[in-house]
Amino acid sequence: MSFGPIVQPLVSGVSSGTNVPITANIFASYVEIAEDDSATPVGLIVTWPNGSVSEYAPSRQPITIGDKYHIGRGPFEGVPANYNGAKGSATQYCQVKSAGANTNVRVSEWP
């Protein structure tokens, strides 16, 4: 069985000044985060939940979370907010900001 990604709405206007949280919208076993082609890619600075910071030039994108070969059967990397009636926050994959000019970010999640 093949699973396609669920693509989140485009995160527009990601600037170099403010971190933008990237959170789960579905139960996801694999995630890709990349700049969208609607603006010239400039690179992303990513702050991970453990506090470490990484820079991803356009040539190093997409940024991946999880194992692509376990789509549909691996552990969940992301859990949406308020699932199954529970009160809770969605998994925050990371926070991103632009390495230069404003850019747009696309997040794709596979169940």
DSSP 27: -
Residue pLDDT tens, the chain, 111 long: 456 787 887 788 888 888 999 999 999 999 999 999 888 899 999 999 999 999 999 999 999 999 888 887 778 898 888 776 666 788 999 999 999 999 999 999 998
Q: Let me know: does 12 contact 107? Beta carbons within 8 Å.
A: no
Phi, psi of 60 (to 5 degrees): -100, 10
> Facing residues of 47 across strands?
53, 95
User: Residue 3: its pLDDT value, please?
Assistant: 62
Nearest CA to 74 among 104, 34, 108, 30? 30
Q: For the structural domain made of 6-110, what CATH number should be given?
A: 2.60.120
Taking the whole predicted model, whether its pTM rises above 0.85 is answered as yes
